Chains A and B, each alone.
Chain A
Amino acid sequence: MEAWRLALSSSIRGKLISAGYTSLSSISSVSSSDLARDANITEDEAFEILKLANQSSGSNSCNGNRSLINGAKNAWDMLHEEESLPRITTSCSDLDNILGGGISCRDVTEIGGVPGIGKTQIGIQLSVNVQIPREFGGLGGKAIYIDTEGSFMVERALQIAEACVEDMEEYTGYMHKHFKANQVQMKPKDILENIFYFRVCSYTEQIALVNHLDKFISENKDVKVVIVDSITFHFRQDFDDLVQRTRVLSEMALKFMKLAKKFSLAVVLLNQVTTKYTEGSFQLALALGDSWSHSCTNRVILYWNGDERYAYIDKSPSLPSASASYTVTSRGLRNSSSSSKRVKMM
């Protein structure tokens, strides 16, 4: 398609053609500032031209010379999208703060730590918190919990669900003091019903389940978080050939990333720690090796500092490295310094 077909004023058209932009494909592959500079027009005009060009090229049949890849978005649109994405709160406001508001959807977050630090507790808390209705600032979604170790205890999940409902009721009582209290519709039983719990007992089961997740989530579109507790257990045995293990793990990681992007859900992978000999001494490192560390978008490490539990952002494309303390109480994850029982809702 030729540039002179665009609905522009003749002076601008003339400038475009004399600058060398004769076909639509050449216009659509350039940025507005470059176009403005080359054709000697203002940026706003260049932007208008690009919009027109994209609209026209969209309605025409495919031009083989198009250098623009189908589906590419500009970063501005992506920024708007990311800012409007909801986040899943961890019920601990200090932890939420270093995470930028909570666990982000569309990302794969890896959380690892020593036994007993609270990984399963975070997993259960997230599977309950994802169900907080939108009126309370949550996502109103469902959760998939893949248990490879057998640490998920229904009574603990029920305890955390009851505490969540109590907090929501307290919040409505607080916010709507002068109005009739908006009864919280959710009951702890409903919260348990919305957690899809899978128990896998071998690595083949784990791989089969991950492959099946695409179909499962297509049928259950309101799933907003997939938690795997833990991702490593079945992979630390029986793999004599580490190359094969790395290959299997990277395939699995890729599937999780695709799931996260396709369905806009959060994937949380819980990992164990192991010791690594670096720089002449033994250090703690997350299990599954160096190649696995590239498979997740964000990485959080849990550790003990004195008598307190801390979380540290080890890897993130957008968050600064920071650490925050948290405690595990009978009601779930909470701030360690706060003595108030009221949970901050977004």
Chain B
Amino acid sequence: MKPETLLRRPQTNRKLTTGCKILDGCLRGGIPCYSLTEIVAESGCGKTQLCLQLSLCAQLPISLGGLNGSSLYLHSEFPFPFRRLHQLSRSFHQSNPSIYANDNDNPCDHVFVQNVHSVDHLFDIMPRIDGFIKNSGNRLPLKLIVLDSVAALFRSEFDNTPSDLKKRSSMFFKLSGKLKQLANKFGLAVVITNQVTDLVETSDGLSGLRIGNLRFLCSSGRRVVPALGLAWSNCVNSRFFISRSDETIWKERSENDESGSSYVSRRAQRRFDIVFSPYLPVTSCEFMITREGICGVQA
């Protein structure tokens, strides 16, 4: 058994850019490789958007912050947003002309989508993923795995009895252990999304337990906690929280109208927070979701 030489590893873990400079600034480069990152958000906050954007950014060359690899998108929630992926991929193609030699190159060629309907199904797929990575042939090697979402895999199958909860806990660690093993062996970045549940304060529960930098997590004006509880929180390396707050009204100028008339649009304010991470300080930033994808808002 030999120890790893820390100096032979690059001094910073390779990071996958999120496609937005402001978000990358918060994350000191992007999502790290060799580690499991969790994105927690209410539905409709933008976690799937961020994951789609990451799957496309993985193809970028390393000089542009990508991983020069393909991505595997495991989705457990229906339906998979194919149309949105195509829309994003078109604008991705346009904004990166240097990489795609001809117009027939489709960034979607490097995004592999697989549906998982239960935890056992996911464990059955694992050996195939291993084989998929090893025998990459002449396509880009797999560098990113996205699991969207882990909560949907677990929430329906287990009852609330102590023995089922114990079995569920043990599944968390088994799943996390396997994904971390893959991440470590092949240098992958693994992104997992999670849902939230409302917090109901009870006198005998630990639902108000504080995990991480934020005293409490708030989204859409109510207190929430990440789903799957304390056991799952121990399984991930970093946790990020996306929240949305009340809509604000923006006055915008109409593009082709010079006369100065403007119209109002409602935009939800979205916020990206770092809950815990082994190397990042507490930061947060705001962002919007546009047709081109996620873009940060300068504070």
Contacts and interface: CB of A to CB of B under 8 A. Distances in A.
A156 B279 contact: yes
A201 B181 contact: yes
Interface in B109-167: none
A198 interface: yes
A135 interface: no
Given A114-B210, A237-B174, A281 B204 contact: yes
A154 B170 CA distance: 29
B3 A197 contact: yes
Interface string A97-124: 0000000000000000011100011000
B234 A282 contact: no
A239 B233 CA distance: 20
Contact of B212 (A116, A197, A199, A216): A116
Interface stretch (B28-36, B75-83, B192-200, B262-270): B28-36
B299 interface: no
A193 to B, nearest CB: 6
A238 B3 contact: no
Contacts of A116: 211-213, 239, 275-276
Contact of B211 (A114, A233, A236, A274): A114
- Interface pairs A-B: 7 shortest CB-CB: A116-B276, A237-B173, A196-B3, A116-B212, A156-B279, A237-B174, A153-B279
B213 to A, nearest CB: 7
Interface string A207-249: 0110010001000000000000000011011110000000000
B204 A157 contact: no
Contact of B11 (A151, A154, A234, A236): A154
B281 A152 contact: no
A307 B282 CA distance: 13
B6 interface: yes
Interface of B: 1, 3-7, 9-13, 32, 34-36, 169-174, 177, 180-181, 183-185, 204-206, 209-213, 215, 230-231, 233-234, 236-237, 239, 275-276, 278-279, 281
13 contacts: A114-B230, A115-B236, A121-B278, A151-B237, A153-B35, A155-B279, A158-B11, A189-B7, A212-B1, A234-B173, A236-B170, A273-B230, A275-B206
A38 to B, nearest CB: 57
Contacts of A274: 230-231
Interface residues of A, number: 50
A314 interface: no
Interface of A: 114-116, 120-121, 144, 149-159, 189, 192-193, 195-199, 201-202, 208-209, 212, 216, 233-234, 236-239, 272-275, 280-284, 287, 304, 307, 330
A153 B276 CA distance: 14
A150 B1 contact: no
Nearest to A306: B215
Given A149-B237, A156-B278, A216-B1, A192 B177 contact: no
B192 to A, nearest CB: 14
Contact of B4 (A155, A199, A202): A199
A304 B169 contact: no
* Chain A at the B interface: SS class: mixed
Contacts of B185: 201
A196 B1 CA distance: 11
A284 B209 CA distance: 9
Given A150-B184, A153-B278, A236 B230 contact: no
A236 B169 contact: yes
Nearest to A216: B1
Contacts of A153: 13, 32, 35, 278-279
B144 to A, nearest CB: 16
A284 B207 CA distance: 12
A201 B179 CA distance: 10
Contact of A149 (B180, B204, B239): B180
A156 B11 CA distance: 9
B206 A201 contact: no
A150 B36 contact: yes
Given A197-B6, A274-B231, A238 B174 contact: yes
A120 B1 contact: no
Given A154-B10, A212-B1, A237-B172, 4 more contacts: A115-B212, A150-B36, A153-B13, A281-B204
B183 A150 contact: yes
A156 B4 CA distance: 17
B6 A233 contact: no
Contacts of A209: 1
B279 to A, nearest CB: 4
A233 B278 contact: no
A114 to B, nearest CB: 5
Contacts of A238: 170, 174
Between A153, A197, A234, the greatest number of chain B beta carbons within 10 A of the residue's beta carbon is seen for: A153
